[in-house]
């Protein structure tokens, strides 16, 4: 990752990714200076992401840094501190008639995720991609089991 303002590459500390401009990142100090460019305005929402260098610390269980990655910014109003569920609800209720496309702050924060995942329905995208699809599968499986048991009972009642 290169800072799009000072062009420093592989900086450490926090990185700030614009959720409006495609592939626009700032280092901590440029973000603090409220760096702008021809396309980027200081009013744009930014997602704060720990850099790879800090990811090591993050996954060895440092509690203060793991809070950072649980805190997503809304691409529309710059509000921060959402988890994936709250962000999906917030976008659905507060930004119903939005027209712009959105860069998913959760994909952008995930190590190995698609850093510039653009979607035109963020709440839909979050509920399909970031809310434990496993749980849905388990629910579906139980439903099938129940249907199967009911059918079995019916067959037994009929004496087959
Ligand atoms: Zn910079
Ligand atoms: Zn921007
Ligand atoms: Zn918002
Ligand atoms: Zn996503």
pTM of the full structure:
0.62
What is the three-class DSSP state of 14? strand
Q: What's the CA-to-centroid distance between 12 and ligand 1, angstroms?
A: 11
| 9 in any annotated domain | no
Q: pLDDT tens across 64-75, in order?
A: 444 445 689 999
Q: What's the CA-to-centroid distance between 114 and ligand 1, angstroms?
A: 22
Residues facing residue 27 across a β-bridge: 15
Contact present, 40 and 13 (Cβ < 8 Å): no
Res. 4 pLDDT band, cuts 50 70 90: very high
| CB-neighbour burial class of residue 56 (10 A; exposed 0-12, middle 13-18, buried 19+) | exposed
Give the ligand at the shortest distance from the Cα of 73: 3
Contact present, 21 and 115 (Cβ < 8 Å): no
Q: What's the CA-to-centroid distance between 43 and ligand 1, angstroms?
A: 17
Residues with CB under 5 A from ligand 1 (ion): 3, 5-6, 27, 30
Q: What is the pLDDT of residue 110?
A: 76
Q: What is the pLDDT of residue 6?
A: 94
Report d(CA 43, CA 27) in Å as an integer: 17
Contact present, 3 and 26 (Cβ < 8 Å): yes
Q: pLDDT tens across 13-39, in order?
A: 888 999 999 899 999 999 999 999 999
Same domain, 69 and 22: yes
Q: Give me the helix-helix angle, 122-129 and 84-94, nearest 10°.
A: 150
Give the ligand at the shortest distance from the Cα of 39: 2
Same domain, 84 and 159: no
Residues with CB under 5 A from ligand 4 (ion): 104, 106-107, 117, 129
Same domain, 121 and 150: no
Q: How many domains does the chain have?
A: 2
Same domain, 120 and 58: yes
User: For residue 137, what are the domain limits?
Assistant: 132-160
In the 3-class helix/strand/coil scheme, how is 53-121 assigned residue by residue? HHHHHHHCCCHHHHHHHCCECCCCCCCCCECHHHHHHHHHHHCCCCCCCEECHHHHHCCCCCCCCEECC
């Amino acid at each position: 990752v290169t800072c799009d303002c000072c062009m420093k590459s592989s900086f450490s500390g926090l990185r700030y990714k614009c959720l409006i401009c495609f592939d626009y990142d700032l280092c901590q100090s440029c973000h603090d200076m409220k760096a702008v460019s021809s396309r980027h305005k200081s009013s744009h929402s930014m997602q704060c992401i720990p850099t790879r260098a800090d990811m090591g610390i993050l996954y060895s269980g440092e509690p203060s840094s793991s809070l950072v990655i649980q805190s997503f910014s809304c691409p529309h109003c710059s509000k921060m501190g959402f988890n994936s569920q709250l962000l999906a609800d917030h976008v659905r209720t507060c930004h119903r008639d939005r027209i712009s496309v959105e860069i998913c702050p959760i994909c952008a924060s995930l190590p190995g995720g698609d850093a510039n995942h653009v979607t035109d329905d963020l709440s839909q995208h979050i509920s399909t991609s970031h809310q434990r699809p496993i749980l849905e599968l388990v629910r579906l499986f139980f439903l099938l089991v129940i249907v199967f048991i009911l059918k079995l009972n019916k067959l037994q009642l009929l004496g087959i």
